[in-house]
Structure 1
Amino acid sequence: MATDDMWIWDGGRVCLDFANTLRHRWRTTPEETLRSPGDLTVWLQQAGLLAPGIQDPGTAAVLASGRRLRESVDRAVLAVADNGLPLPGDITVLNRSAAEAPRPAVQIAVTDGRLEPAGTANTATDASAALALIALDAVDLLLSPEIRRVRVCGADHCALRFVDRSPARNRRWCSMSRCGNRTKVRLHQARARRSDHTPAD
Structure 2
Amino acid sequence: MLHDPKGGSFWFDAGALCLDFAHTGGEGPYAVFETLHDPADLGVWLAQPPLTAVLTEAVTARELTAAKALRQAIWDAAHARAAGRSLPAAAIETVNRAAAAAPLVPELAVDGASAAWASPVRTAQALSTLARETIELLSGTFAERIRECASDDCPLVFVDTSRPGARRWCSMERCGNRHKLRALRARRATDR
How high is the TM-score relative to the length of structure 2? 0.77
- Structure 1 position 141 matched with structure 2 position 144: no
1:102 paired residue number: 103
Name the residue aligned to 1:111: none
**Which one-letter code corresponds to 2:80 in the other structure?**
A
Query: 1:186 & 1:56 partners in 2: Cα distance?
Result: 49
Letter in 1 for 2:96: N
Residue 147 of structure 2: SS of its match in structure 1?
A: strand
**Compared with structure 1, are the counterparts of its residues 106 and 126 closer, same or farther at alpha carbon in structure 2 (3 Å cutoff)?**
closer
Counterpart of 2:21 (choices 18, 22, 28) is 18
Partner of 2:155: 159
1:194 is displaced (CA, Å) by 4.5
Q: CA deviation at 1:56?
A: 5.0
1: CA distance, partners of 2:136 / 2:116: 16
For the residue of structure 2 that corresponds to 1:29, the secondary structure is: helix
Structure 1 residues 5 and 38: CA distance shift in structure 2, 3 A: farther
Residue 50 of structure 1: how far off its partner (Å): 4.2
Match of 2:91 in 1: 90
Are 2:104 and 2:128, in contact at CA under 8 Å, matched by a contact in 1?
Answer: no
Task: Give per-residue Cα distances to partners, 1:117-146, cap 9 Å, x unaligned.
Answer: x99566771323211111010011111020
Are 2:53 and 2:126, in contact at CA under 8 Å, matched by a contact in 1?
Answer: no
Structure 1 range deviating more: 119-128 or 138-147: 119-128
Q: Which runs of structure 2 are paired with 1:120-139 in the superposition (5 Å)?
A: 125-139=121-135
Alpha-carbon offset, residue 82 of structure 1:
3.9
1:143-201: per-residue Cα shift (whole Å, max 9, x none)?
102010000111233211100112221111011122212221233234334544xxxxx
Residues 34-49 of structure 1: pairs in structure 2 closer than 5 A: 34-49=36-51
Q: Distance in 1 between matches of 2:144 and 2:116?
A: 26
Cα offset for 1:104?
2.8
Cα distance in 1, alignment partners of residues 74 and 171 from structure 2: 21
Task: Give TM-score, length-normalised by structure 1.
Answer: 0.74
* Structure 1 residue ranges, 4+ long, deviating more than 6 angstroms after superposition: none
Partner of 2:165: 169
Q: Does the 8 Å CA contact 2:106/2:117 hold for their aligned counterparts?
A: no
Change (3 A) 1:35 1:13: same
Matches within 5 A, 1:1-16: 6=3, 9-16=12-19
Q: Structure 2: which 5+ runs fail to align? A: 4-8
Corresponding position of 1:113: none
Structure 1 residue runs without a partner (length 5+): 108-117, 197-201
Name 1:74's counterpart in structure 2.
Answer: 75
SS at match of 1:162: strand
